Amino acid sequence: MKNKILMIIAITAVFTLSSAQEKKVMTESPIYNFTMKTLEGKDKSLSDYKGKVVMVVNTASFCGYTPQYKDLETLYKQYKDKGFIIIGFPANNFGKQEPGTDKDIAVFCERNYGVSFPMFSKISVKGDDIHPLYKYLTTGTQFKEEIAWNFTKFLVDKYGNVVAKFPSKVKPTEKEITAKVDELLAGK
């Protein structure tokens, strides 16, 4: 009987430690330390996305990849009720393909693509004026290279770990991405 009690205590301790470790990882992930401005000018903490699988994507309104907004919206609608979110960051770093104001961008996204996932204020994703979020994504993670072009996609797991990066040419609805999203949502 004493051995059974000790075994139960040991098992409980392991599960408690695992739960505490998960919470610690989620709390300490640098991505959750950023507060960003929405297109409407409101502050939004990325910590609000703890426990969700997040796709971070830099966007532009006048790029050859701009039609990916449609694919992003399709992906978002497919997975949003399963714990997935897409967050878009307009940037004017590549060929000046995002010249508009935040209001212009919001109207463009809604009118042309029906974008319903969160979009944030225009930022710089490379260069001397790189936003700290993208500095972190490109130097503080395993993906240590500048953003090459618009519609580069990062996937963040439920614990805030940046686990995948996809170049512009990979459409959001391609199997390469959807399989990874499925895997992350399943907790693998």
AA identity, residue 115: V
Distance from C-alpha of 150 to C-alpha of 77, rounded to nearest angstrom? 22
Contact 155, 163 (CB under 8 A): yes
Q: Which distant-in-sequence residues (6+ apart) come within 8 Å of 165 by Cβ?
A: 143, 152, 153, 154, 155
Residue 84 β-bridge partners: 53
3-class SS at 133?
helix
Q: Where are the alpha helices (DSSP H) in the chain?
A: 2-28, 68-79, 102-113, 132-139, 175-185
Supply φ then ψ for residue 147, to 5 degrees. -65, 130
Q: Is 63 a catalytic residue?
A: yes
Contact 176, 45 (CB under 8 A): no
Catalytic-labelled residue, pool 63, 85, 106, 185:
63
Q: Which residues are known to be catalytic? A: 63
